[in-house]
Amino acid sequence: MATTTSIPRDPAFDSTLALLREGYPFIWNRCQRFQSDLFQARLMGKRAICIHGREAAELFYDETRFQRRGAVPRRVLTSLFGKKGIQTLDGAAHRHRKAAFLSLMTPTSLDRLMIATAREWRRAVHAWEKMEAVVLFDEAERVLTRATCTWAGVPISDRELPRRARDFGLMVDAFGGVGPRLWKGKRARARAERWMAREIERARRGDAPTASASALHVMAHYRGPDGERLPARTAAVELLNVIRPTVAISWFITFAALALHEHPESREKLTCEDAGENAGAYADSFMQEVRRFYPFTPYLGAKVRSSFDWKGHHFKPGTLVLLDVYGANHDPQLWDAPESFRPERFDGWRGDAYGFIPQGGGPRATGHRCPGEWITMHNVALALHILTRCMVYEVAPGQDLRVDLRRMPTRPKSGFILRNVHATAALDHGLPRRPSRMAAQDATDRAGGVHAEASSV
């Protein structure tokens, strides 16, 4: 029998309060303090091993050693992910269901989503011209909600848009909250699941025609390995697992606007970027640096599936393991000057499935890496195009732009308020159909096709 080597242990009897108090850097702080890529802690009364680094990420995504079943706390299932969703599956069942999600990530499907999103940005910017002040975060939630529902085949009216968008935001906002924040997220999820279950049932009855490539159709008619359809409520959870993460890109878009404000030299580069062979290269670099620099996912959890040894420590089945995401994106061993915002670090970057993990790591097709990462990349790149080329605005003075790392998820406290918004002529001209060249190339390569020239909407 393997012997467990002594590894650093957080001295607190239970570190849950410290995690809530410190927020994002909880694991990273201790890895630096202990000079170790792993340590023990007690969280919510249970023993956990916290791990950090590229090697740790590669280990974490080894499905022979880890499983997700039982690792996600109930409070997160009932607010963020939903019960019996893809995040709770492993092995063949996970791969089978993930194929349904990946069928929505073809170049053609992504093009349809970006066409819908560009249309909503146009509508929004023209409306903002008549408004005294605009809270970008709130407006981005609404833009992405309407666009994503349209693409997914889910009808949504002007009247219900604000509350549906807010519910998506509350679900995401609940994952790091306790008390009222958590309760609001749970209630929002219950409302959204009832809504989506009704749409699933309508699609199955044929009451409303749905395009075969839409997310509504795919989830309504998906059949598991046993050949059976999912219960309507579970299909609704998976439909929400397409729409809700897309609306959550509002956090990254708000961070992108903050980065433009704090780094005007980058705004100038984006505004003046050529339309030649390297068009969009700097926008991609800026988009990736936003995803690396600003905090969104703090850590990810899994449970040990089978015994193994790593760095001299014996991991027993059933042990909860947390992978440090925030620290990995701020580790000087992985990034030069990680606390500096430097888009240029991504110039010519070819990707790293384990060293750069803002939305999880590992292989996109088979593992637990977020299948919607391309959607994030396209949406942030499109928002950058809108903010730098299609409108002029002032950042309202006196607002609170602090980003509190103790709050998960965090964002500028004010939501980033704009005033004196005016559209430019570029808004009503062709917007990029494939705003992120990197995402478009990656999606096309995976589909086995030939990368088409970017065209305009």
HEC string for the chain: CCCCCCCCECCCCCCHHHHHHHCCCHHHHHHHHHCCCEEEEEECCEEEEEECCHHHHHHHCCCCCEECCCCCCHHHHHHHHCCCCHHHCCHHHHHHHHHHHHCCCCHHHHHHHHHHHHHHHHHHHHHHCCCCEEEHHHHHHHHHHHHHHHHHCCCCCCCCHHHHHHHHHHHHHHHHCCCHHHHHHHHHHHHHHHHHHHHHHHHHHCCCCCCCCCHHHHHHHCECCCCCECCHHHHHHHHHHHHHHHHCHHHHHHHHHHHHHHCHHHHHHHHHCCCCCCCCHHHHHHHHHHHHHCCCCCEEEEEECCCEEECCEEECCCCEEEEECCCHHHCCCCCCCCCCCCHHHHCCCCCCCCCCCECECCCCCCCCCCCCHHHHHHHHHHHHHHHHHCEEEEECCCCCCCECCCCCCCCECCCCEEEEEEECHHHHCCCECCCCHHHHHHHHHHHCCCCCCCCEC
* 170, part of any domain: yes
Q: Which CA distances in Å does 325 have to 62, 137, 198? A: 16, 23, 36
State the average pLDDT over residues 176-193. Answer: 91
* 1, part of any domain: no
- The alpha carbon of 345 is separated from its chain's Cα centroid by a whole number of angstroms, namely 21
Q: What is the pLDDT of residue 177?
A: 80
Which residues span the domain enclosing 405?
Answer: 16-447
Q: How far apart are CA 330 and CA 337, in angstroms?
A: 9
Amino acid at 327: G
Q: How far apart are CA 457 and CA 454, in angstroms?
A: 10
Q: How far apart are CA 94 and CA 456, in angstroms?
A: 36
State the average pLDDT over residues 122-134. Answer: 98
Q: What is the pLDDT of residue 1?
A: 42
Q: What is the pLDDT of residue 81?
A: 78
Q: What is the pLDDT of residue 37?
A: 96
Q: What is the pLDDT of residue 275?
A: 59
pLDDT beyond 80 at 273: no
pLDDT beyond 70 at 244: yes
* 9, part of any domain: no
Cβ-Cβ contacts under 8 Å for 251 (sequence gap 6 or more): 137, 172, 296, 409, 411
* 452, part of any domain: no
Q: What is the pLDDT of residue 49?
A: 96
Burial per residue of 46-62, b for 16 or more beta-carbon CB atoms within 10 angstroms, e otherwise: eebbbbbbbebbebbbe
Give per-residue pLDDT as tens, 29-69.
999 999 999 999 999 888 999 999 999 999 999 989 999 88
Q: How far apart are CA 275 and CA 60, in angstroms?
A: 41
Q: What is the pLDDT of residue 409?
A: 95
pLDDT beyond 60 at 449: no
**Segment among 268-272, 335-339, 366-370 with least mean pLDDT:** 366-370
Give per-residue pLDDT as tens, 364-377.
555 556 667 899 99
The number of folded domains in the chain is 1
Q: What is the pLDDT of residue 164?
A: 97
If one compares 450 and 39, the residue with the highest pLDDT of the two is: 39
- Average pLDDT value for the chain: 90
* 365, part of any domain: yes
Rg (CA), the chain: 22
* 11, part of any domain: no
Q: Tokens standing for 228?
A: 């059976």
Domain of 47, CATH number, reads 1.10.630.10
Give per-residue pLDDT as tens, 377-399.
999 999 999 999 999 999 999 99
pLDDT beyond 80 at 451: no
CA proximity to 347, closest of 263, 271, 287, 264: 287
pLDDT beyond 90 at 350: no
CA proximity to 362, closest of 180, 90, 117, 144: 90
Q: How confident is the model at residue 452 (pLDDT cuts 50, 70, 90)?
A: very low
* 285, part of any domain: yes
**Segment among 25-39, 147-161, 279-293 with least mean pLDDT:** 279-293
Q: How far apart are CA 104 and CA 374, in angstroms?
A: 11
Q: What is the pLDDT of residue 84?
A: 79
State the average pLDDT over residues 198-223. Answer: 90
Q: How confident is the model at residue 3 (pLDDT cuts 50, 70, 90)?
A: very low
β-sheet with 38-43: strand ranges across: 38-43, 46-51, 320-324, 299-304, 66-67
pLDDT beyond 50 at 2: no
Q: How far apart are CA 138 and CA 416, in angstroms?
A: 9
Q: Which CA distances in Å does 183 have to 157, 238, 245, 395? A: 26, 21, 19, 33
Q: How confident is the model at residue 274 (pLDDT cuts 50, 70, 90)?
A: low
The end-to-end CA distance of the chain, in Å, is 63
Q: How confident is the model at residue 448 (pLDDT cuts 50, 70, 90)?
A: low
State the average pLDDT over residues 207-229. Answer: 90
* 175, part of any domain: yes
State the average pLDDT over residues 427-449. Answer: 81
Give the largest CA-CA distance in the chain. Answer: 71
Give per-residue pLDDT as tens, 63-114.
899 998 877 777 777 777 778 777 777 788 888 988 998 899 999 999 999 9
CA dihedral 365, 289, 170, 118 (to 10 degrees): -80
Q: Is the peptide bond before 209 cis (omega within 30 degrees of 0)?
A: no
Q: How confident is the model at residue 276 (pLDDT cuts 50, 70, 90)?
A: low
Q: Tokens 């100038």 identify what position?
A: 268
User: CA quadruple 112, 115, 119, 121: dihedral positive or negative?
Assistant: positive
